[in-house]
Amino acid sequence: MTIDEVNQHYAIVSVGNRMVVMQTATDGSIVELWDYEHFKKRFIKERVKVRTAAGKEKMMQLADFWLGHPRGRAYDKLVYSMPGSHTPAGERDYNGWQGFSVKPKPGDWSLNRAHLHDIICRGDEEAFTWVMNWIAALVQLPGRHAWVALVLMGGQGIGKGHLANNMIGRLFGSQQYIHILGSGQLTADHNEHLSGKVYIYADESTWGGDPRAAAKIKGLVTEDSIPIHRKFLKMVDEPSMLHIAIASNNEWPIPIESGDRRFTILAVSEEKKQDQSYFGQLLLELANGGRAALLADLLSYKVDDNMLRTPYNTAAKAQVAVQSMKAIEHWWFEILERGTIFDDLWPTQILKRDLHSNYLAFLDRHHKQSKERRSTETEMGKFLKRVAPLTQQMTVNGTRERWVTVSPLEFCRAEWLKTAGWKSNYAWDDDAAELSDTWEPPSPATDVDEM
């Protein structure tokens, strides 16, 4: 093997503060990064005949010969410089950005557009606009990481993967896109497969019951850099370019906290489930110019940056949030959903100890096996002050009993939706409560301690 033959697929490059050997494919994508020791082992049986300064011939390890040869391919450092990134590529740098898999060209992608609008977004115009804006930002500024991840919920064979993989993922080459199966790869300790990626499709992935893994996902969504941990190499930080789409058939794919700003969750329609003829037509359209037309439209789309920073809140997201609630949140939510506190009543004044007993009884019924610590009466009071309008304690008839003054149901529900970040038109189980314009909350008591 000659120097030129080795140069076709290998080059010396700096990654972080380490010099490594980069193995590349014929299309320029990075196959592997080798430290010198393992690169030498890879070519341990390859030897070349060389001539010494004294004019004598000797046999030498090919790896050593190539590493020290002035014509061995070498770069200063590995970078990913692309639209939206803040990383410049110098003349001697290796730029890992490969561009798109197709050239944009005006054409017809109407069938796939309808799939996005009618199936993925269920005809919801606002959801469709949000998703189009998200994909367009990915295409126009791939070097700038997204602030929100897209989560697609629903059964298998309904078209989640067609959008995430065939429509979006296939716009990029393997250097910038990875299709992950299951939950482990996205949160693995060794994560070199995330290096240089602008788009990740996590297929049939679930982290709802794994708080540590979920915390990693949230970090990947929002952080400006990613610590890349390669085997045999020191961990290095890379600027984050990640745009993450998650597909799951689980009712609890990811924990959703109150006021979440990281995830848009869509419940995908099952109208075309396992319809092979339907999906065949979509693939045929993409192959016959539809993918190039989709790319052309995305590149010309007017991106709304404000929309990118705010998730589109849906009923599906609210359902996932219920699965993620802490026990005390679940208790109060169920009260709001039911529309009653005691029996069929919504009293305006309640003894605080009775309300706390109600909370404890709920835990005994619904969270008996939970390891979560139970809130004290004082902690319950502080929680209610955050999520229910003007809840307070007061003195009644000169007796310093701890009472809570409860706002009407419709106001408590409105405050919950505001605090949780849910849509204002959330469909409560009991729709009898109507927001009154005439009710005014009582004045705060002045002769009591904090709840």
CB atoms within 10 A of CB 435: 11
Query: Same domain, yes or no, for 160 and 275?
Result: yes
Query: Same domain, yes or no, for 261 and 349?
Result: no
Give φ, ψ of 60 to 5 degrees: -140, 145
Query: Same domain, yes or no, for 270 and 336?
Result: no
Query: Same domain, yes or no, for 265 and 129?
Result: yes
Tally of domains in the chain: 3
Give domain status of residue 441, yes or no. no
- Predicted structure pTM score: 0.83
Asked if pLDDT for residue 53 goes beyond 90, the answer is no
> What are the distances in angstroms from CA 224 to CA 84, 195, 379?
13, 14, 35
Nearest to 115 by CA among 279, 299, 311, 284: 279
Determine the Cα–Cα distance for residues 287 and 279; give it in Å rounded to an integer: 12
Nearest to 300 by CA among 100, 80, 139: 139
Q: Are 67 and 183 in contact (CB under 8 A)?
A: no
Give φ, ψ of 155 to 5 degrees: -70, 180
Nearest to 78 by CA among 125, 27, 20: 20
In tens, the pLDDT along 71-103 reads 999 999 999 999 999 889 999 999 999 999 999
Asked if pLDDT for residue 209 goes beyond 70, the answer is no
Query: Same domain, yes or no, for 206 and 294?
Result: yes
Last residue of some domain: 79, 94, 127? 79
Query: Same domain, yes or no, for 176 and 281?
Result: yes
CB atoms within 10 A of CB 304: 14
274 SS3 class:
coil
Query: Same domain, yes or no, for 228 and 331?
Result: no
Q: Write the CATH number for 308.
A: 3.40.50.300
How many residues are listed for the chain in this entry? 451
Q: Is 390 left (phi over 0), alpha (psi -120 to 50) or beta?
A: left
Give domain status of residue 446, yes or no. no
Asked if pLDDT for residue 432 goes beyond 60, the answer is no
Determine the Cα–Cα distance for residues 118 and 120; give it in Å rounded to an integer: 6
Query: Same domain, yes or no, for 265 and 196?
Result: yes
Which of 12-16, 198-202, 444-448 shows the lowest per-residue confidence on average (mean pLDDT)? Answer: 444-448
Nearest to 350 by CA among 427, 288, 274, 402: 402
Determine the Cα–Cα distance for residues 242 and 141; give it in Å rounded to an integer: 11
Give domain status of residue 384, yes or no. yes
pLDDT of residue 381: 86
Give domain status of residue 444, yes or no. no
Give domain status of residue 167, yes or no. yes
Give domain status of residue 85, yes or no. no
Query: Same domain, yes or no, for 309 and 184?
Result: yes
Asked if pLDDT for residue 448 goes beyond 60, the answer is no
Give domain status of residue 11, yes or no. yes
Determine the Cα–Cα distance for residues 317 and 417; give it in Å rounded to an integer: 12
Give domain status of residue 428, yes or no. no
Query: Same domain, yes or no, for 184 and 330?
Result: no
Query: Same domain, yes or no, for 136 and 258?
Result: yes
Determine the Cα–Cα distance for residues 268 and 312; give it in Å rounded to an integer: 14
In tens, the pLDDT along 129-183 reads 999 999 999 999 999 999 999 999 999 999 999 999 999 999 999 899 999 987 7
Question: Containing domain of residue 33, as a range?
Answer: 3-79
- Give the pair of three-digit tokens for residue 236: 């290095």
- When pLDDT is cut at 50, 70 and 90, the band that residue 434 belongs to is very low
Mean pLDDT (the chain, rounded) = 87
Asked if pLDDT for residue 430 goes beyond 70, the answer is no
Give φ, ψ of 209 to 5 degrees: -100, 10
Please name the amino acid found at residue 172: F
Determine the Cα–Cα distance for residues 343 and 346; give it in Å rounded to an integer: 9
